[in-house]
Amino acid sequence: MAIKIFVTATNTGIGKTHTTLLLMETAKKRGLLPAAFKPIETGVEDTPLDGTKLLKCTKKLNPNSTDLTLEDIVPIRYPLPAAPYVAKGKESISVDYLKDKMNEVEKVCDILFIEGAGGVLVPIEDNLFMADLPKIFDAKTLLVSPSRLGSINDTLLSIEALRNKEVEPVVAVNLFEEADTFEKITRPYYLQSRLEHYLLPKQADDLLIRLLKA
């Protein structure tokens, strides 16, 4: 059984794919064979952009993954750039199907990074949200937060939403937006409130170790 890590975020455009690729490289350096799985990708007109990056990285780092295809990495794709609940139209999304597809990818790796879509409360079906997937997939959870002003509110709301699902996340801050002011504007609260967090990319190795111990 591979170690499974569900990568979610406070919203869309926060850097889930960027973080997943970084952690895959970090895992490889630690002697693990990584793979990636993105259950659902929306906004796919032709080729899934995120899925393509994840497949390319998986094949580069994991010699067991040569037979994997985009259909394995991203089994469900929709052209509309919206939440899966909206993008799917009248179709239904089967959790059992997603679990079966994940299990196939899991067979070729030591550690599997499962990337969600959008933020933690993005709807998939009635009463099924991204925040439900960590327990469904039996995965540890990484919450990626931005470094910009306003991210404290988004981070705390996302943590609360996950805890309401009985999911305890590990928090990482992707230093890309307003990174030059993060230490002065945002981080003081995290430090004073003793909110455990890791800064990316510089603490990627520490983050991976923490996730492995979670």
Note the pLDDT of residue 10. Answer: 97
User: Who's near 62: CB < 8 A, 6+ residues apart?
Assistant: 28, 33, 34, 35, 108, 109
The total number of residues written for the chain in this structure:
214
Domain boundary assignment for the chain = 3-213
Say what the pTM is: 0.97
CA distance 191 to 87: 39
The catalytic site residues sit at: 38
214, pLDDT greater than 90: no
Q: Is the dihedral of CA 86, 151, 5, 205 positive or negative?
A: positive
Burial class (CB in 10 A: 0-12, 13-18, 19+), 213: exposed
Q: Would you state the CATH architecture of domain 3-213? A: 3-Layer(aba) Sandwich (3.40)
Give tens-digit pLDDT for 26-78. Answer: 999 999 999 999 999 999 998 999 999 999 999 999 999 999 999 999 999 99
